[in-house]
Amino acid sequence: MTDVKSTFGPKRIDNISWSDTSQPSKLIQNDLQTKQKTPLFYLHNEPVNDYEEDIYFVNNSDETLSFVAPYELMKRSPDCTESVIAVEPSECDKSLTYTDVLPKQGVRIDRQHIIYDSDYLNQIIVYTMSRASKAMWGVWRFSACEKGMFPSFYSLLWEDGTKPSGVVSIDKRNDPKDRPILPPVLPIRQQLYQRWSDHYDRTRASFMVAITDVIYRYDFGMVGCYYNHMWDEYSSEAEQIANRLITEDADSVDDVLALMTAVYDVSFGAGYTTVPKAVAEIIYGLWLEYKHNK
């Protein structure tokens, strides 16, 4: 898409209405049982000038979305594939990260140019989170591609939960191993990394952040950390786990599991928190990586 980093900034438009300009066939028009679909989320274009259009992500649902992020949020660690690495957003990405997106509100996420973008395959990636219902609950990733420019109204997800034919992929990232680190927690994550770096060193601080990421994504404690954007809720336990691994060592997943259970028993009472073995396996992999790089 058009490079707008130097001039592009956040913008919201309220009370946008869906208006699919495509006309159904006569057969469909005559079918009384057929009902035109309405999207929960869609893209909408607003003209800037004779050549450019701004692209907005529109929340057509009845809920306020906690965030909308029009960029990739995650990648996998090459040394520990079960470990998710938060993608550090650029300054432009940060400016286009929106919180509390209201119903029928559009947020500007991109711009297209009638000359520069007409002959290329263009892609838009958007993440958001829904808590509207059991079926909708989760973090959603939308990937849309168009040969040339995106049309004025472009559905990303129909209200019945089905995928529009033009959308490349829709993923609901509810499995802990697939959950990204969400934009609302990045500021406190950076603050704690800096605090740990100042107190210990950068390598140990990165290890503590990685452990906290796993605990946050798997969300097995008393508090619902992930969907409430409480990344630091168990940062104290993560710090203790990292320090005990460094001082006591661990030669197996079972050793890590026993160590983590002991930390949680002291914090919350014996037997109150069950540490998933999958979490111990990931943290054991992080421990081996830490020792290798130390």
Bridge partner residues of 219 (DSSP):
none
- pLDDT, tens digit, for every residue of 61-93? 999 999 999 999 987 766 656 666 777 788 888
pLDDT tens-digit profile of 230-251? 999 999 999 999 999 999 999 9
Residue appearing with tokens 């990344």: 231
pTM for this predicted structure: 0.85
131-158 confidence digits (pLDDT tens): 888 888 999 999 998 888 888 899 999 9
Instruction: Give the integer Cα–Cα distance in Å for 151 and 292.
Output: 51
pLDDT tens digits for range 258-290: 999 999 999 999 988 999 999 999 999 999 999
Closest listed residue to residue 180, CA positions, set 63, 277, 281, 86: 86
CA 115/CA 213 separation, integer angstroms: 43
Structure tokens belonging to residue 283: 């943290």
For residues 140 and 170, is the Cβ–Cβ distance under 8 A?
Answer: yes
